[in-house]
Amino acid sequence: FGVGFYFFLQFIKELPHTLFFSMFDQLAWLKEKLIILVGVMLFILFVIGLADLLIVRFQYFKDLRMSKQEIKDEYKQMEGDPQVKGRIRQAQMRAAKRRMMQNIPQADVVITNPTHYAVAIRYDKSRDEAPIILAKGVDFLALQIKKVAVENGVQIYENPPLARELYRVCEVDDTIPAHLFRAVAEVLSFVYMSNKQKFQDKL
């Protein structure tokens, strides 16, 4: 606005000299000064608006960076919180158990202890290189596995040493280790022969 005021003072200083101008020249002079003054004011307003826009954008991105950092800091704090870690671990375990129980109907057999261990096995020669562990559990979970197996017509086979060894060395979705191939093959062979109609494609 100081620039505009400067032009206004120049306008006032030159005004007395226009008394000697003709009416036409006075109007032309006035028009010229007004155009200059309006142009200067518009330029000043443009500069102010641009500066304001840049300040707003700078503040916005500054706040955005702070927000992202705050989120990261909060996540780190939560991640390091033992209670949060515990809840995440529990949720993961529940999800894994739910998926495991849903897979039991696909099993060919559940090998049991019979009371303490239960291991569900599937062998589909079209997609499995070796028998797969679909589910395993001990004590109460073993009882649940057997219950779901019975409800879905999956045969229960009692072999305490094999059940314990499978539970010990295998995790869910693992293929059985080579040293247990023969023992598991004998179980599967017995199951397939006992249920020829159900497993005729596997005989």
Q: What is the CATH number of the domain that holds 164?
A: 3.40.1690.10
107-150: pLDDT as tens digits: 999 999 878 899 999 998 888 889 999 999 999 999 999 999 99
In angstroms, rounded to a whole number, what is the distance separating the alpha carbons of residues 94 and 128?
Answer: 26
Residue 185 maps to a domain = yes
Q: Dihedral, CA atoms, 179, 181, 187, 192, nearest 10 degrees?
A: 180
Q: Are 109 and 121 in contact (CB under 8 A)?
A: yes
If asked whether residues 109 and 195 sit together in one domain, one would say yes
If asked whether residues 116 and 177 sit together in one domain, one would say yes
Please state the domain count of the chain: 2
If asked whether residues 198 and 127 sit together in one domain, one would say yes
Residue 82 maps to a domain = no
Residue 194 maps to a domain = yes
Q: Which residues are CB-neighbours of 63 under 8 A, at least 6 positions away?
A: none
pLDDT for 8 equals 63
- Helical (H) or strand (E) element with 195: none
28-86: pLDDT as tens digits: 877 887 887 788 788 888 888 898 888 888 888 777 776 666 777 666 666 666 676 77
pTM over 0.85, yes/no:
no
Residue 84 maps to a domain = no
If asked whether residues 107 and 197 sit together in one domain, one would say yes
Taking Cα atoms as reference points, which of 30, 31, 37 lies closest to residue 8? Answer: 37
If asked whether residues 43 and 104 sit together in one domain, one would say no
If asked whether residues 198 and 119 sit together in one domain, one would say yes
In angstroms, rounded to a whole number, what is the distance separating the alpha carbons of residues 152 and 136?
Answer: 16
If asked whether residues 45 and 105 sit together in one domain, one would say no
Question: Token digits for 189?
Answer: 């062979």
In angstroms, rounded to a whole number, what is the distance separating the alpha carbons of residues 134 and 154?
Answer: 12
Domain containing 39 equals 1-49
If asked whether residues 40 and 105 sit together in one domain, one would say no
Give the residues across from 121 on adjacent strands: 109, 133
Tell which of 49, 65, 87 closes a domain.
49
